[in-house]
Amino acid sequence: MAVEKDEVTIVLPTLNEEKAVRKVISELKKAGYNNILIVDGYSTDKTVKIAESNGARVVLQHSKGKSGALETAVENVDTPFMLVMDCDCTYDPKDIDKLLTHAKIYDQVIGARINGRENIPRFNRLGNWLITTAFNTVMGTKLSDVLSGMYLIKTDAARMVEFNTKGFDVEVEMAAHIAANGRITEVPITYRKRVGRQKLHSLRHGWQITRTLFTLARQYNPVLLFSSLIALAAVPAFFMLAWAMLEAVLFGVWNSGRALIGLILFVFAFQGFTIATVALMLRNLEKRLMRQAKSNSNHV
């Protein structure tokens, strides 16, 4: 059974979104969503005035960045569910119904930007793929868009998240916490062209998100992280062994020292790869057992 619309608070983090905020609120109301919470990061334009005049509740955030906006939102949401959505017209409120369909079963439902991906800059698409792939490897998930700006989450689950990030990497932090402690899934949605100025800087924020992912990997799955790093020793091992063999074939010289170092690195890398594989299998087994236990408790 899907969640009712009045059980959801739509959270719109804003910072100078005067060109888009009226349209976003209007579309949300037309779609039947009236619990709209604007969490404003001290806009210097007319964002707050427009939001209030169009019937949205406005609170000013504390702390910095988007994570500060979500911290503030959690403190002000009084419905069982909250849906976070960027306030730039890129997301269609009609897609929210898809997320609500699965809200009773999952702690977080991400809107994966499957349709309209041409509206995402190519460099951002590549970065999103790389970060999502790394996230799936570390967390044992099968997501396709961990950086999506539209996702539904149970309010109680959101309150359990300790926000340590300050920027656009908050989506990764949120998803990591839910993936480690609850159930997470995604549904396909449409991504539209942005209204107003883009605030995401590809290189700077991409590097910031990557650092956060490394920190989360160390926190939630350190064995997999460090054993994977050890497995990278296979790269220099391959080149050293190839070099030694090439010298032997072309010049008849066998450099036993180089070959021995290459062999040691190869064994070291193989051990790291083996440990990483076992860690990943154990992680997946742990998640299956947690899901089964949670399912059994719900039927008791």
Spell out the per-residue pLDDT of the chain, length 300, in tens.
678 999 999 999 999 999 999 999 999 999 999 999 999 999 999 999 999 999 999 999 998 888 899 999 999 999 999 999 999 999 999 999 999 999 999 999 999 999 998 998 888 888 888 889 888 887 878 999 999 999 999 999 999 888 876 666 788 888 988 988 889 999 999 999 998 666 555 455 556 666 666 776 666 777 766 777 787 888 888 888 898 888 888 888 888 888 899 898 888 888 888 877 787 777 667 666 766 666 665 555
Does domain 5-220 fall into CATH 3.40.190.10?
Answer: no
DSSP-assigned states of every residue in the chain = -PPPGGGEEEEEEESS-TTTHHHHHHHHHHTT---EEEEE---SSSHHHHHHHTT-EEEE--SSHHHHHHHHHHHH--SSEEEEE-SSS-B-GGGHHHHHTTTTT-SEEEEEEEETGGGS-HHHHHHHHHHHHHHHHHHT---S-TT-SEEEEEHHHHHT------STTHHHHHHHHHHHHS-EEEEEEEB----S-----HHHHHHHHHHHHHHHHHHH-HHHHHHHHHHTTHHHHHHHHHHHHHHHHHH----HHHHHHHHHHHHHHHHHHHHHHHHHHHHHHHHHHHHHHHHHHHH-
